[in-house]
Structure 1
Amino acid sequence: MGSVNENPQSKRERILLKIKLWGKSHPITLFVLLGLLIAYYFCLPKHLFVAPTATVVESRNGRLLGAIIADDGQWRFPLVDSVPKKFKTCIIQFEDAYFQKHPGFNPVSMIKAIGTNIKAGKSVRGGSTLTQQVIRLSRKGKRRTYWEKAIELLLATRLELRHSKAEILKYYASYAPFGGNVVGLDVAAWRYFGLQPYQLSWAESATLAVLPNAPSLIYPGKNQEKLLQKRNRLLLKLFQKGILDRTTYELALLEKLPQKPYRLPQLAPHAVQFLAKEQKGKRITSTIDENLQANVNSILKKHYTDLKQNQVYNAAVLVLDVKTRAVLAYVGNTPTDRNHQKDVDMVQANRSTGSILKPLLYTAMLDAGELLPEMLVPDVPTQIAGYTPENFNEDYTGAIEANKALARSLNIPAVRLLQEYGLEKFRNQLNAFQLEGIDKPADHYGLTLILGGAESSLWDLSKTYASMASTINHFNTTSSEYFKQEFTNPIVIKDKLVDFGIKSIEKTIFDAGSIYLTFEAMKDVNRPEGNESWEFFDSSKEIAWKTGTSFGNKDAWAIGTTKDHVVGIWVGNADGEGRPNVTGLSSAAPILFDVFDVLPRSKWFTKPLDEFAAMEVCQISGFLATDRCPTKTISVPKKNNYVKACAYHRTILLDPQRQFRVNSSCADLSQAHTESWFVLPPLMEFYYKKNHATYKTLPSFKANCKNPLEPSLEFIYPKNGNRIGLTKNFAGNYNELILKLAHIEPRTPVYWYLDDRYLGQTSNFHEMGILPSLGQHRITAVDAVGNEANITIQVE
């Protein structure tokens, strides 16, 4: 016998010595015992349950957004994180009152169960603990024999050594059958009560606690009496043990049983499908805001009711947090039907971009120093290598400020700017935005690239605008620095942080100043022209937004950004069918602003002052200032500037009355007035002066002045006031009326118009065939230096 004061280490050494001596005396027995011990240690599989589980997606607050059933057709969610207190209490009191005390099996319960079953001549009572039931569930399909019972008992003790009681209870709550194809507490709570487990009442918890006892027999909507009796017996037990007070007990008895399964929530089905691609069978806590998602669903459903009247069946919405790049709402389609591709995720689908890339070109040219915000760009009939772009309204402004051209989404200025900037250069620059749909070389797209000749997804376009917004924010919150990985993918999984990379004084793609000026231009899209209904627009909100419409009215886009959020909208038909009146302005923009209405109001972007420098520009043309034009000072991105000096102001000489131009051939120049005059090229002037009442055409020369630089032109046929009768050919069709013009310098280009509608251009041989309608018409010819000839004819 050891000493009472023997220290623990000496005692342990003495015991090990005895075992060693006993082992030397009984080597075979020791070997067998070690073998059994090793077998016992490894008898429990590393992964207790290998059955497939459903893909479960929760909101950022842990609310269920949707799920995809497991591959074996069972609604089986992944292992629960915790077991609610009410259900835990109910299941222990119903199945295993000594759960917290036994080592995996309860010999007293087993003996009582055997005795009862022998007396009854059949199995009427079970003696299995919750731990044994977990083992049985993991060994599904095994026959219920005494040998299987012995194995279960052994494995149960091993399970108790490996896991805590709380973990064992999680296994039971996750894999217990609750009737039909419902497995686990999480699904059962949703299917039978439309609630999450922690929301269950005592009566509801008791109902679910008794279900796994006989899931094939007791099922909500069937065997109501048996289910009610079992539930109420459990509630009575809870009352008798003092777990429930009398009031709670009596109220619990009054609660009704579930009658039929509820559908699982389907708040974000396309987001669930998107996440399931890489997270199949897992429980995913997303970044999605449940309340915002529900609001956006309602908004899209309301607009869908109107859209389908025009046979437009599909739309998508994506809302991003600019700061964290988290997806806050993800609506992949409208609540349409399978015949109209309701399951297609239009957030990820590549579609024709329409005009939605124009802000990127505008920013690129500002960033390259090749554009100034108010610089006039031509908006005239244009043909480039056989390609003839048209504005959406089929009209021309002659010349328009670059920022207004962007705000009004004019096509012709965009095409001309792309040609000037360089198609290849812009196409290569788009690679930095990781727009997966744009994967072909520049010559495949041509100049149509800027008008919808390429395809991209709402996901990629929205993330690009979010990255641009974030560039400004980061520049202002750091020491005027940029992040190397600013242009990155959004995140959909909570607690996953975006890696913006290291900071640098070098811009990532575009500098913050150029982006800021682009957003300033996009913010001014607040009074669209035309007869569109704009009651949905709140002009007090400062949002940089852009619409786009693809050829054939197949795709309507609207993307808007504030300092805090980006909202992206796509509207159209998933099968590519175009519909009249489907435009970004009329179809997508109303949804955009309805979504912004449910988002917190944001302040406008802070101007990144360190990226700006002052510059003198021509007040009228927006080009670099000269001594011939009125000037003003503007802020432009601080970089080498390649914009030309203003060429639209000419110095002219006027007679003393300032009515006519003069030169040395007809006047004493010492008496002439020198004046700077804003003059546009003839074709630009023709349209510009119709929209600008203050524009003054150059005065004519005095009659006796020679002007060899401005040749005259005259109609040969028809003459002013002619009455023309069109003739028919042998096929019965009208022959064209051939207009003929004489010019002193035939090589000078001449531009033809019928009733102010542009017809085309001639050079060398000035003839133009037309088929005018009956009635009076005005024919105008303008040469390249501004001379103009007009006639009026009557077609009969």
Structure 2
Amino acid sequence: MAFVLLIVYYFSLPRTLFQEPFSTVIESDDGQLLGAKIADDRQWRFPAADSVPDKFKQCIVHFEDENFYWHPGFNPISMWKAFIENRKAGKVRRGGSTITQQVIRLSRKNKVRSYSEKLIEVVLSTRLEFRHSKERILELYAAHAPFGGNVVGLEMASWRYFGIPSNQLSWAESATLAVLPNAPSLIYPGKNQQNLRRKRDALLLKLLNRNVIDKMTYDLALTEPLPQKPFDLPQTAPHLLDRVEQKDKGKRIRTTVDISLQERVNQISKTYYNQYRQNEIYNMSILVIDVKTRNIVAYVGNSPTDSDHDKDVDIISAPRSTGSILKPLLFASMLDEGEILPNTLVADVPVQISGFAPQNFDMTYDGAVPAQRALARSLNIPSVLMLQEHGVNKFYETLKKYRLKDLTFRPDHYGLSLILGGAESNLWDLCRTYANWTSTLNYFNSHQAKYRTKEFSELNFYEESKPDFGSETYQKTMIGAGSIYLTYNAMKEVNRPEGDEAWKFYDSSMEIAWKTGTSFGNRDAWAIGTNSDYVVGIWVGNASGEGRPELTGVNYAAPILFDVFNLLPRKKWFAKPLNDLEEVEICTQSGYLAQDDCPKVSQFVPIRGKNTKACPYHKLVHLDRTQKFRVNSSCEDVGNIVNKKWFVLPPVMEWYYKSHHIDYLPLPPYRDDCQHNEKGVMDFIYPKNYNAKIYLAKDFNGKVQPVILKVAHSDPKATLFWYVDNVFKGQTQHFHEMQLDTETGIHYVTVTDSRGNEANRKLEIIRD
């Protein structure tokens, strides 16, 4: 029988005393409260803390159970006194319960008081004393005691009534909270003040008499006011709290957020929100990442807007059109594959590819532009032509390796629009990609040209979590450090926001690699930047997807980006990864590898860059002494011929290029007395493709507008003759444009010059 009773006694106490749900709580990296969400039972109940503050511990023990550290879970003397007093009164006036018994009663849902229930509490209390230490019992009490209304537990009560964490409570505040579980109805703003003060002051007097506090502390404590209006909990990172709750509901999580930085970033968000909502732009998100650890140090999921404008939507993880934000990834991939060099000239002329006709943002054409300058200026046409050369499928696979999870369709769904915002991504994935890039470059420079096998790791907001970057290797995991460095150099030259255009001329200016993006219809404005220690990402727009005039990355996202970077420590520019670069001779004007006829300059390029093709735009020409005409041995003595290297672009590229470069010299014509077999070269500027569909547009008055055909010729003096369906339409000189007035349907256009050169187009004219 004794053995059976012992077994029953052992298993009488449930393994888990409390089944109630807890609030989800997040803290900063130094333990300060960032925010909390109410528990599922609509009670504010924080998870139990690791320890109880000493002041509250002294107060609760002296108020509730002075013999707490000496009894085995119940106090027979107190229980006997309570029994006698209750008998005399004819009702229950005193319980005589210890703190341990109160923990048991709380775990049993405060069942109706009776002698049989009291007996059960005694048995379970002794069992609880065997299971846990006195300190752990105090922790359970502090976590589950009622403090009035729907406030449960010391930590929540401390925030609710005093607006501070429990470890910062004064003696008077600790005494106030110690008397509440005994009578939680006392705490009500503006009511029961005298009764509450009397209980608090009596406890303070007991602490003085027991030499727990001195006379000065006692006198000062008596002067402290009682709590009045309840305090709101901090909501410093509400969207991060929502994110944590998805995985760790009901837990207390210490995050990696720097509360000082978070509060200042929140203020920046509020300032710009008040400014931008004047243009009916209501949402923004900001993410700041510590590159070395991949820890998130600031997280603003949305602006402080209202429910009508989706304030609860966490836009950091929401898929949005990328605009131009992917262009650096293409540039770096092509550098790494040896397909371009930093200054390789890329065509910037009107193009139409399978019905897709990209346009630059400013609707102009440069003819040809260095690749890194095209990136810095975010030109669309050069980017599309680069993607066409690199391959959509190849670039798509690269993006999938970066784990951009919102690429949910096949590559042919996006086509060449992939580089101009035809795809969607989110701020989290994009910032992670740039953080992994920066870390790759940093590690390569600081660890003898080595990479890490798991460098491309996930972002982290759990303080106790440490990333695994894998083992060291000499093989690049995704992309070489040299390509990243050259891409960042190009991104450093992106045009700064208004007011910061002259940043290069100031020693105090921050050097960051950054890129903006604007989606079609002005729906999304992006800006992402990095220095050697941090990545900052910004998105601005409307969560509803509504576009707004002038909403661009440089006008709306970039100012926020630079204000956030101003909060961060200034860092030196990245060291040059010489072990992943090679110095080669580059053609000064074309950016290609230099050939014999090029003016040359030395430049560092990725190792595979030395295998790119040589400059196709330079050739050796023979001139007369005036250097105004080309000659040959048929019309000039060999001794009088001047040999000169000449930079020559294709006709259409030349036609636009020379209008932006006054130093560009077209190839001189042959002197009239010279015999030569060389033919001039010409090409259509519009339409670009042979089989072209042209839709006739109408003006505001409803009048159908004619089609204007354009041709470029390498000889500026050439006369061109125009034919439509074998009918002569006219001739042009200098500016070769012809207005086409014809019926709808299919037509054939032929343009010839006096030397017999010819260009043809088949057009299908369509009227809406």
Which of 743, 749, 752 is residue 765 of structure 1 equivalent to?
749
Contact 2:301 2:316 in 1 (8 A): yes
Task: Give the conservation status (yes or no) of the 8 Å contact 2:651–2:681.
Answer: no
Mapped to 2, the partners of 1:188 and 1:784 lie a distance apart of: 93
Q: Structure 1 482/707 Cα, relative in aligned 2: closer, same or farther at 3 Å?
A: same
Aligned partner of residue 317 in structure 1, secondary structure: strand
Within-5 A mapping of 1:578-593: 578-593=547-562
2:695 counterpart residue number? none
Q: How high is the TM-score relative to the length of structure 1?
A: 0.86
Are residue 145 (structure 1) and residue 114 (structure 2) matched?
Answer: yes
> CA 1:39–1:61 in 2, change beyond 3 Å: closer, same or farther?
same
1:713, 1:743 within 8 Å by CA — same for their partners in 2? no
Q: How does 1:81-230 map to 2 (within 5 A)?
A: 81-230=50-199
Provide structure 1 residue ranges, at least 5 long, that are not aligned to the other structure. 1-31, 715-727, 768-780, 788-796
CA change 1:784–1:191 in 2 (3 A) is farther
- Name stretches of at least 5 consecutive residues in structure 2 with no aligned partner: 684-697, 712-718, 725-729, 741-745, 760-768
Which amino acid is 1:736 matched to?
A: P
Letter in 1 for 2:665: K
Distance 1:370 1:37, change over 3 A: same
Q: Tell me how far apart the structure 1 counterparts of residues 558 and 653 of structure 2 sit (CA, whole Å).
A: 31
**In structure 2, C-alpha distance between the alignment counterparts of 1:351 and 1:327, rounded to whole Å:** 21
1:107-156 CA distances to partner (integer Å, 9 max, x unpaired)? 11111122222223333322000000000000005221111111011100
CA distance in 1: counterparts of 2:9 and 2:334, whole angstroms: 73
Percent identity between matched residues is 55
Shift of the alpha carbon at 1:165?
A: 0.3
Q: Deviations over 1:456-494 (max 9, x none)?
A: 110000000000000011112223211111111101100
Residues 89 and 766 of structure 1: CA distance in aligned 2, closer, same or farther (over 3 Å):
same
Contact 2:710 2:738 in 1 (8 A): no
- Could you say which residue in structure 2 is the equivalent of 1:509? 478
Match of 1:736 in 2: 706
Give 1:96 deviation, angstroms.
0.5
Note the C-alpha offset of 1:365.
0.5
Bigger mean CA deviation after superposition, 342-351 or 640-649: 640-649
1:423, 1:470 → 2: CA distance?
Answer: 27
Q: What's 1:654 paired with?
A: 623
| Aligned: 1:305 with 2:305 | no
Relative distance call for 1:751 and 1:383 in structure 2 (3 A) is farther
Structure 1 residue 527: deviation in Å? 5.0
Q: CA deviation at 1:534?
A: 3.6
Partner in structure 1 of residue 568 of structure 2: 599
Instruction: Check conservation: 1:752, 1:782, Cα contact below 8 A.
Output: no
Structure 2: distance between partners of 1:673 and 1:476: 49
Please state how far the C-alpha of 1:759 moved relative to its aligned partner.
Answer: 9.7
Bigger mean CA offset, 315-324 vs 604-613:
604-613
- Matched with 1:343 is 312
Give the stretch that moved more between structures: 193-202 or 683-692.
683-692
Amino acid of the residue matched to residue 284 of structure 2? Answer: A
Q: Are 1:694 and 2:678 matched, yes or no?
A: no
What is the aligned partner in structure 1 of residue 40 from structure 2?
71
**3-state SS in 1 of match to 2:316:** coil
| 2:532 matches 1:563 | yes
Q: Which residue of 1 aligns with 2:369?
A: 400
How far apart, CA to CA, are the structure 2 residues paired with 1:560 and 1:599? 12
How big is the shift at 1:669?
A: 4.1
Per the TM alignment, residue 61 of structure 1 is displaced from its structure 2 partner at its CA by 0.5
- Give the Cα separation in 2 of the matches to 1:219 and 1:164: 34
* Cα shift at 1:607: 1.5
Q: Distance in 1 between matches of 2:664 and 2:533?
A: 42
Q: Is the 8 A contact 1:681 1:785 kept in 2?
A: no
Change in 2 beyond 3 A, CA 1:763/1:644? farther
What amino acid sits opposite 1:612 in the alignment?
L
Q: Please state if 1:627 is matched with 2:596.
A: yes
The alignment yields a C-alpha RMSD, in angstroms, of 3.0
Q: Is the 8 A contact 2:336 2:609 kept in 1?
A: no
Name the residue aligned to 2:606. Answer: 637
- Larger Rg, first or second structure (1 or 2): 1
**Cα pair distance change 1:657/1:252, threshold 3 Å:** same
- CA offset digits 1:224-266 (Å, max 9, x no partner): 1111111111111111212121211111111111112111100
Counterpart residue type for residue 140 of structure 1: K
Please say if residues 496 and 554 of structure 2, whose CA atoms lie closer than 8 Å, have aligned partners that are also in contact.
Answer: no
Question: Which residue of the other structure, out of 411, 419, 443, is the alignment partner of 1:450?
Answer: 419
Is the Cα contact below 8 Å between 2:73 and 2:101 reproduced in 1?
A: yes
Aligned position for 2:714: none
Is this contact kept in 2: 1:105–1:157, CA < 8 A?
yes
Q: TM-score, normalised by structure 2?
A: 0.90
Aligned mates of 1:423, 1:414 — CA distance in 2? 12
For the residue of structure 2 that corresponds to 1:124, the secondary structure is coil
- CA drift of 1:736 comes to 3.3
Shift of 1:57: 0.4
Q: Which residue of 2 aligns with 1:374?
A: 343
Please give the secondary structure, in 1, of the residue aligned with 2:175.
Answer: helix
Q: How does 1:218-297 map to 2 (within 5 A)?
A: 218-297=187-266
Asked if the contact 2:709–2:738 (Cα under 8 Å) also holds between the matched residues in 1, the reply is: no
SS of match in other structure, 1:159: helix
1:749-788 paired onto structure 2 within 5 Å: 765-766=749-750
1:24-35 aligned at under 5 Å gives the runs 32-35=1-4
Shift of 1:554: 0.3
| Distance in 2 (alpha carbons) for counterparts of 1:782 and 1:86 | 102
> 2:461 is matched with which residue?
492
Aligned AA (1:318)? L
Aligned to 1:465: 434
Q: How far apart, CA to CA, are the structure 1 residues paired with 2:549 and 2:756?
A: 38
1:544 Cα shift? 0.5
Report deviation, 1:753: 12
> 1:330/1:712 Cα in 2 relative to 1: closer, same or farther (>3 Å)?
closer
Q: Distance in 2 between matches of 1:51 and 1:358?
A: 51
> Which whole-Å CA distance do the structure 1 matches of 2:592 and 2:540 have between them?
38
| Aligned counterparts of 2:704 and 2:24: Cα–Cα separation in 1 | 70
Deviation at 1:221, TM superposition (A): 3.6
Given residue 39 of structure 1, which amino acid in structure 2 is its aligned partner?
Answer: V
Q: Describe the superposition over 1:42-73 as per-residue Cα deviations: whole angstroms up to 9, x where unpaired.
A: 11000011100011000000001011111110
Matched position secondary structure for 1:347: helix
**What is the identity, as a one-letter code, of the residue corresponding to 1:394?**
M
Distance 1:783 1:448 in 2: 40
2:299 to 330, 351, 358: 330
Q: 1:156 to 1:545 in 2, by over 3 A?
A: same
- Which AA in structure 2 matches 1:272? L
C-alpha contact (below 8 Å) 1:365/1:421 kept by paired residues: yes
Give the letter for the 2:171 counterpart. Answer: W
Distance in 1, Cα, partners of 2:756 & 2:344: 22
Alpha-carbon distance in structure 2 between the residues aligned to 1:214 and 1:483: 60
**How many pairs does the alignment contain?**
725
Superposed CA offset, 1:306-336 (max 9, x none): 1101100000000000000000001000000
Query: Would the aligned equivalents of 2:36 and 2:233 in 1 still touch at CA under 8 Å?
Result: yes
Deviation at 1:764, TM superposition (A): 6.4
Equivalent residue, structure 1, for 2:324: 355
- Is 1:624–1:646's contact at 8 Å kept on the other side of the alignment? yes
Range with bigger deviation, 614-623 or 185-194: 614-623
Alpha-carbon offset, residue 654 of structure 1: 1.0
> Quick check: 235-244 or 621-630, which moved more?
235-244
In 2, are the aligned partners of 1:682 and 1:782 still within 8 Å (CA)? no
Question: Against the structure 1 CA distance between its residues 739 and 523, is the aligned structure 2 distance closer, same or farther, given a 3 Å change threshold?
Answer: closer
Partner of residue 776, structure 1: none
1:771 is aligned to none
Q: Which of 547, 551, 565 does residue 520 from structure 2 map onto?
A: 551
